[in-house]
């Protein structure tokens, strides 16, 4: 577990560590997955709870950074028609710095530090194939520390399901 510079655990990491989902929390989450627009009263009626209980449970999960209710839309609805997986090998610079810089690019939807042959794995969405060379040659070539790039074009999405995902602290703004 990462610790702040003073050696103590952060409040959010402690809250995440001591938090555990019970059957009621799981049922509320199932309802929200089924209909993210359902209000507390609707969820309460379906689960035989009070709206106050649902509200309190949701707030507790959010405060512990264990739940965030978000909208998800299709890549193509936003004009992204090319999906790439790019594996990155780093040299001469810490991989964490390179990953942070890559993660700041608007085309990068996910950046992961990984084990194995490569140091970083990214998911990139582009509008069209015409923007592929600009992204690879103009944007990625300016990132210092990249030794090799191995891009793979996604030809078909078999499964893309993120019912569970890492949740950033509320105090941090998600990157666009």
How many CB atoms lie under 10 A from the CB of residue 129? 10
CATH number of the domain enclosing 19: 1.10.10.10
Q: Residue 37 and residue 71: Cα distance in Å, rounded?
A: 9
For residues 135 and 87, state if they share a domain.
yes
Structure tokens, 4: 């702040």
Angle at 129 between CA 125 and CA 133, to 5 degrees: 90
Residue 4 predicted with pLDDT over 50: no
Domain encompassing residue 92: 75-153
Give the Cα separation of 36 and 164 in Å (integer).
14
Residue for token digits 């379906």? 46
4: left (phi over 0), alpha (psi -120 to 50) or beta: beta
Residues 58 and 93 grouped into a single domain: no
Residue 40 located in a structural domain: yes
**pLDDT band at 168; cut points 50, 70, 90:** low
Tens-place pLDDT, residues 57-96: 999 998 888 888 887 777 777 778 899 999 999 999 999 9
Total domains in the chain come to: 2
At 103-146, the pLDDT tens digits run 999 999 999 999 999 999 999 999 999 999 999 999 999 999 99
Question: Which one-letter DSSP state was computed for residue 66?
Answer: S
């Amino acid at each position: 577990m990462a610790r702040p510079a003073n050696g103590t655990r952060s409040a959010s990491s402690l809250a995440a560590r001591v938090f555990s989902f019970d059957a009621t929390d799981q049922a509320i989450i199932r309802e929200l997955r089924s209909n993210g627009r359902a209000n507390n009263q609707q969820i309460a009626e379906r689960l035989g709870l009070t709206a106050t209980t649902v509200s309190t449970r949701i707030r507790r999960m959010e405060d512990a950074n264990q739940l965030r209710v978000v909208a998800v839309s299709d890549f193509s609805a936003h004009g992204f028609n090319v999906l790439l997986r790019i594996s990155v090998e780093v040299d001469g610079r810490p991989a964490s710095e390179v990953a942070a810089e890559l993660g700041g690019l608007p085309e990068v939807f996910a950046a992961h530090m990984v084990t194995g042959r490569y140091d970083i794995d990214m998911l990139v969405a582009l509008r069209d194939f015409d923007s592929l060379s600009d992204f690879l040659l103009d944007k990625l070539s300016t990132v210092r520390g990249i030794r090799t790039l191995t891009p793979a074009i996604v030809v078909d999405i078999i499964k893309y399901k993120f019912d569970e995902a890492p949740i950033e602290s509320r105090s941090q703004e998600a990157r666009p």
